[in-house]
């Protein structure tokens, strides 16, 4: 597999947003979503004094990125971990605080491009979708064993699928005849079960169901809900957290965590706001920044990306 086919999403903006925190001597940056190592390699190049800690739950990604980042020697530490394990990883490495944290959420390009992983609905593959193939249950088991009501909840909550009931009815009917194992059968079933109007908008009609299954299999939103506050806690004053998200559910969590950190927690009506109630974060974006046409042309997977950043401006005061 070639690494040079992969252009990291909104790379220059991520680097520029992290720069004030990483141009300090001895800076430490954490890439919480290593993937093929595009962002990590760029961080090591742009900030030659910085040390990188990079996390990924996918052992194949760690192997490939390990080869790519080998020239940087001890400046790069690669760890097999889910990003919500950030506090434990930093503790093991003896790092009380770090200067920058980058998240590139969602499924990696490598996982989408490897047909046998079952992430992509455009090609037939085993319905797996696990980012870490050494643990947990795959998408086929979710489809074949979950109660109908639970499947409807997942499709609605994680895929924002308006036709969830209709799709789940078809899944339940079909799995009784034969358990699901491959993606093509599921794609065809979704296509056949949707009304014409629903098929005319929003790209491939299977997209939302596949997203929902992937999020459920990998417990992605649970991880994001733990990881973003953990990253905010991990950075010292002047440190920055930068997050790329690709769907509204992830972006909403990031927005809420950053907004809470940037707000005063003082009871209303105080004439002077004491230190302990002052905001801990400064927002680095007005809302979420979107990719430019050039960035989408460079990497079509950038199209749904939303970029947010925050800087720590004061310590937590107990």
User: Within 13 Å of residue 187, how many CA atoms lie on the same side as its CB?
Assistant: 16
In the prediction, which pLDDT does 51 show? 98
**Would you say residue 115 has pLDDT above 80?**
no
Q: Do both 92 and 228 map to the same domain?
A: yes
Domain count, the chain: 2
Average pLDDT of the chain is 89
- Three-state DSSP class for 102? strand
Compute the CA torsion angle 9, 12, 313, 257 (nearest 10 deg).
Answer: -10
Share of the chain above pLDDT 90, in %: 66
Tokens of 62: 């760690």
Q: Do both 60 and 96 map to the same domain?
A: yes
Evaluate whether 129 touches 139 at the Cβ level (below 8 Å).
yes
Q: Do both 119 and 167 map to the same domain?
A: yes
- Mapping DSSP onto H, E and C, the string for 15-32 reads HHHHHHHHCCCCCEEEEC
Evaluate whether 241 touches 232 at the Cβ level (below 8 Å).
yes
Question: In 3D, which of 6, 42, 3, 2 has the Cα closest to residue 298?
Answer: 6
Instruction: Assess if residue 164 is contained within a domain.
Output: yes
Separation CA 160–CA 207 (nearest Å): 10
In the prediction, which pLDDT does 265 show? 85
Q: What is the pLDDT of residues 251-275, one digit of tens each?
A: 999 999 999 999 988 888 888 888 8
Find the range with the poorest average confidence among 30-39, 106-115, 131-140, 150-159.
Answer: 106-115
Instruction: Assess if residue 4 is contained within a domain.
Output: no
**Would you say residue 118 has pLDDT above 60?**
no
Given 218, 253, 272, the domain boundary residue is 218
Question: What's CA 96's distance to the chain center, in Å?
Answer: 24
If you average pLDDT over residues 26-51, what whole number do you get? 96
Domain hosting 136: range is 115-218
Tokens of 153: 């909840």
Separation CA 2–CA 10 (nearest Å): 20
Tokens of 294: 């050039």
Q: Do both 271 and 225 map to the same domain?
A: yes
Instruction: Assess if residue 5 is contained within a domain.
Output: no
Q: What is the pLDDT of residues 76-105, one digit of tens each?
A: 999 999 999 999 999 999 999 999 999 999
Length of the chain as a residue count: 318
Q: Do both 89 and 164 map to the same domain?
A: no
If you average pLDDT over residues 151-164, what whole number do you get? 93
Show Cβ contacts of residue 282 under 8 Å, excluding neighbours closer than 6 positions: 262, 310, 311, 313
**Would you say residue 107 has pLDDT above 70?**
no
If you average pLDDT over residues 294-315, what whole number do you get? 92
In the prediction, which pLDDT does 121 show? 62
CATH of the domain at 94: 3.40.50.150
Of the pLDDT bands very low, low, confident and very high (cuts 50, 70, 90), residue 195 is: confident
Separation CA 161–CA 141 (nearest Å): 20
Which residues make beta-bridge pairs with 308?
Answer: 243
Q: What is the pLDDT of residues 231-247, one digit of tens each?
A: 999 999 999 999 999 88
If you average pLDDT over residues 106-116, what whole number do you get? 52
Binding residues for S-adenosyl-L-methionine, as ranges, are 37-39, 56, 83, 104, 111
Show Cβ contacts of residue 73 under 8 Å, excluding neighbours closer than 6 positions: none
**Would you say residue 108 has pLDDT above 60?**
no
Evaluate whether 217 touches 139 at the Cβ level (below 8 Å).
yes
Separation CA 96–CA 90 (nearest Å): 7
Share of the chain above pLDDT 70, in %: 90
- The residue among 5 and 40 whose pLDDT is bigger is 40
Compute how many other C-beta atoms are within 10 angstroms of the C-beta atom of residue 272. Answer: 6
If you average pLDDT over residues 129-138, what whole number do you get? 84
Q: Do both 84 and 161 map to the same domain?
A: no
> Helix H segments across 70-206?
86-92, 109-113, 139-145, 148-159, 164-177, 183-193, 196-199
If you average pLDDT over residues 187-211, what whole number do you get? 81
295: enclosing H helix or E strand: helix 293-298
Q: Do both 252 and 161 map to the same domain?
A: no
Which residues make beta-bridge pairs with 76?
Answer: 52
In the prediction, which pLDDT does 132 show? 79
Separation CA 276–CA 118 (nearest Å): 48
Q: Do both 33 and 48 map to the same domain?
A: yes
Q: Do both 46 and 120 map to the same domain?
A: no
For residue 296, count CB atoms less than 10 angstroms from its CB and return exposed for 0-12, middle for 13-18, buried for 19 or more.
Answer: middle
Name residue, tokens 């739950």: 57
Binding residues, as ranges, are 37-39, 56, 83, 104, 111
Of the pLDDT bands very low, low, confident and very high (cuts 50, 70, 90), residue 6 is: low
In the prediction, which pLDDT does 122 show? 62
Q: Do both 121 and 42 map to the same domain?
A: no
Separation CA 109–CA 93 (nearest Å): 28
In the prediction, which pLDDT does 83 show? 93
In the prediction, which pLDDT does 4 show? 41
Separation CA 31–CA 227 (nearest Å): 12
In the prediction, which pLDDT does 2 show? 38
In the prediction, which pLDDT does 267 show? 86
Evaluate whether 30 touches 53 at the Cβ level (below 8 Å).
yes
């Amino acid at each position: 597999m070639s690494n040079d086919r992969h252009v990291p999403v909104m790379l220059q903006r991520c680097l520029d947003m992290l720069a004030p925190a990483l141009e300090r001597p001895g800076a430490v940056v954490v890439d919480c979503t290593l993937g093929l190592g595009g962002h990590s390699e760029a961080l090591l190049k742009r900030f030659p004094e910085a040390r990188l800690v990079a996390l990924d739950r996918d052992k194949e990604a760690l192997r490939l990125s390990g080869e790519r980042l080998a020239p940087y020697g001890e400046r790069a530490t690669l760890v097999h971990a889910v990003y919500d394990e950030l506090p434990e990883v930093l503790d093991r490495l003896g790092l009380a605080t770090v200067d920058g944290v980058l998240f590139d959420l969602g499924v990696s390009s490598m996982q989408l491009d490897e047909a046998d992983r079952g992430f992509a609905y455009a090609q037939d593959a085993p319905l797996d979708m696990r980012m870490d193939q050494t643990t947990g249950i795959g998408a086929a088991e979710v489809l074949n064993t979950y109660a109908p009501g639970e499947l409807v909840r997942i499709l609605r909550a994680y895929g924002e699928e308006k036709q969830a009931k209709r799709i789940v009815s078809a899944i339940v009917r079909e799995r009784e005849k034969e358990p699901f194992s491959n993606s093509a059968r599921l794609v065809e079933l979704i296509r056949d079960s949707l009304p014409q109007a629903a098929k005319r908008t929003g790209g491939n009609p299977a997209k939302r169901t596949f997203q929902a299954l992937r999020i459920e299999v990998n417990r992605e939103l649970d991880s994001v809900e733990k990881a973003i506050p953990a990253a905010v806690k991990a950075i010292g004053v002047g440190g920055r957290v930068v997050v790329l998200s690709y769907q509204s559910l992830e972006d909403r969590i990031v927005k809420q965590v950053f907004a809470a950190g940037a707000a005063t927690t003082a009871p209303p009506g105080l004439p002077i706001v004491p230190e302990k109630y002052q905001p801990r974060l400064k927002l680095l974006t007005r809302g979420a920044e979107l990719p430019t046409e050039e960035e989408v042309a460079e990497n079509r997977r950038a199209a749904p990306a939303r970029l947010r950043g925050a800087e720590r401006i004061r310590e937590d005061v107990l």
